[in-house]
Amino acid sequence: MTSLSAVIPVAGLGTRSLPASKSVPKEMLPVFDRPIIQYIVEEAVTSGAKNIVLVTSRGKSIIEDHFDIAPDLEATLKRANKNDLYKLVHDLSRMTAVQTVRQKEALGLGHAVWMAKNLIQTSPFGVMLGDDLVEAKVPGLQQLLEKSKSLKKDVSEIGVVMLTEVPDSEVSKYGICELDPKEPGRILRCIEKPKPSDTKSRSAILGRYLLPRDIFEILEKQKPGNLGEIQLTDALNVLAEQGRLYGCYLQGLRFDAGDRLGFLRANLHYYLKSPLKSDVQNLLKEFMA
């Protein structure tokens, strides 16, 4: 397979994180010691992605800057013999190639992915949502790659999406997939944010996708939905109807860092994995008291 590319849509307004995201993109809000977007890019790189495409919007240039070289900062850290910090900053800016394209109108996730078409030459390629954190022994995107290879099909022609089971109360928050009982893993239908009564399935799509390059052609022909947006779930349903879409259930943890409680859960998780663990535990006991 040719080198992997990953598209990370970060053009959203971040309304769930307001007012914190009014002037700072939600993707740049810190979880422990780094912004949310850095975890996503690190997962992509660990999974083998050589090219990262950020789909941005007005006011999001700070995200691109985060992955750029900062000569003055590096020089200052070096002069101060802050070698550990210097290495962190140096390695971050040289981690991978990052390109950007702007989504000038908020026309949906499908439209955001479509905006990357001229920068993606590989098939399949990854799509990773910029506020979904995955903590797993095997990185989330890599899980999709391994699932794709295990299917014994042409990996450039099929799609694989990350799934998890959700309770009835959360069905309407996600794209839901109905799976083929005769062929484990194959998806028969994708429905964008249905009512629980509309489907028996509780298999929800998380923010990780491995898609064939012809998804761009599907998105280009796709008509907007009720809200005037191009939904990625509708394009996935076309792949499902063609027998080319499969599901991979997440092996690990997922944090919706765009949600207030999810953001807190992510921070607690990573703080409790850090050298500050005992201090954080004591602080929590203090608050609970």
Question: Average pLDDT, stretch 241-263?
Answer: 94
Higher pLDDT pick, 134 / 70 = 134
* pTM score, whole prediction: 0.91
pLDDT band (50, 70, 90) for residue 36: very high
**Cβ–Cβ < 8 Å for 232, 209:** yes
Whole-number Cα distances in Å, 64 to 47, 230, 285: 20, 25, 39
Question: Average pLDDT, stretch 236-258?
Answer: 95
HEC-encoded secondary structure of 93-106: HCCCEEEEEECCCC
Higher pLDDT pick, 55 / 20 = 55
Decide if pLDDT at 250 tops 60.
yes
Tell me which residue of 94, 90, 8, 96 sits closest to 49, measured CA to CA. 96
Whole-number Cα distances in Å, 157 to 148, 213, 261, 262: 10, 8, 38, 34
**CATH number for the domain including 220?**
3.90.550.10
Q: What is the pLDDT of residues 124-174, one digit of tens each?
A: 999 999 899 999 999 999 999 999 999 988 999 999 999 999 999 999 989
Residue with the two structure tokens 């062929």: 183
Return the percentage of the chain with pLDDT > 90, whole number: 68
Residue 2: what pLDDT? 57
Higher pLDDT pick, 97 / 47 = 47
Residue 17: what pLDDT? 78
Question: Average pLDDT, stretch 110-116?
Answer: 94
In a domain, 29, yes or no: yes
In a domain, 245, yes or no: yes
Question: Average pLDDT, stretch 106-122?
Answer: 92
In a domain, 133, yes or no: yes
Return the percentage of the chain with pLDDT > 70, whole number: 99
In a domain, 289, yes or no: no
**Cβ–Cβ < 8 Å for 193, 175:** yes
User: What gap in Å lies between CA 118 and CA 62, rounded to an integer?
Assistant: 23
In a domain, 275, yes or no: yes
Residue 242: what pLDDT? 95
Any residues with CB less than 8 A from the CB of 182 and at least 6 apart, and which?
Answer: none
pLDDT band (50, 70, 90) for residue 1: very low
In a domain, 135, yes or no: yes
In a domain, 20, yes or no: yes
**Number of structural domains the chain divides into:** 1
User: 172: domain range?
Assistant: 4-284
From the number of C-beta atoms within 10 Å of its C-beta (0-12, 13-18, 19+), residue 219 rates as buried
In a domain, 165, yes or no: yes
What is the pLDDT of the chain when averaged over all its residues? 91
